[in-house]
Amino acid sequence: MANCAQLINCLNSLYLAHEDRFCVTPVGHVFAMYAAHQGGQALRTIFSVPNISYDRDGKRASFWGLNGAASLQGKQLVLTVVNPDVKLSRETQITVRGASLQSGSATTLTHTDIHAHNTFEQRNVVAPQNKSVEAKGRMLTYTFPPASVTKLTLSLA
């Protein structure tokens, strides 16, 4: 379930607006990507990826390497994945049990500068990019870029 208490002009808002100016924030783009799960059947999803380590205020800390969710609507599988590593991409093998992949597409939100953001003057600095994905059989190899949120939409045979 997703809830957004304040939609416009606040910390972590989906949109910025002032008079006749408007832009979608990166949070708004992620919210739209995750909307693909709405009405779907939640699927058990297991991520087996090494944790990432980082320095937090002079202390070593760790964070999950990849994480996400999957849902199914008819013959469409949606997998949303976050790669929190700001430097490394993660090549990953995705295995689908009980079905076979027919085709796929990916929508990815990322930027080389983790501080990049959208403004009224530059509304598409951080914007989702779409591409097709080679998806056949029961396994798919996909590389998740650093500091990214990706939505894989996979059609099942």
CB atoms within 10 A of CB 12: 11
Low-confidence ranges of the chain (pLDDT < 50): none
Residue-range definition of the domain harbouring residue 127? 40-156
CA angle 78, 84, 85 (to 5 degrees): 130
In a domain, 32, yes or no: no
Q: pLDDT by residue (tens digit) across 52-67?
A: 888 888 999 888 899 9
| Structural domains counted in the chain | 1
Asked if the structure places residue 149 within a domain, the reply is yes
Looking up residue 65, the CATH number of its domain turns out to be 2.60.40.1180
Condensed to tens digits (0 to 9), the pLDDT of residues 89-106 reads 999 999 999 999 999 999
- Residue 66 in contact with residue 144, Cβ under 8 Å? yes
Distance, CA of 13 to CA of 29 (rounded, Å): 11
Give the model's pLDDT for residue 128: 98
Closest residue by Cα to residue 18 from 124, 135, 151, 123: 123
What pLDDT is attached to residue 56?
84
The model carries a pTM of 0.90
Give residue 114's pLDDT. Answer: 92
Residue 3 domain flag: no
Alpha-carbon torsion (107, 116, 83, 38), positive or negative: negative
pLDDT for res 8:
64
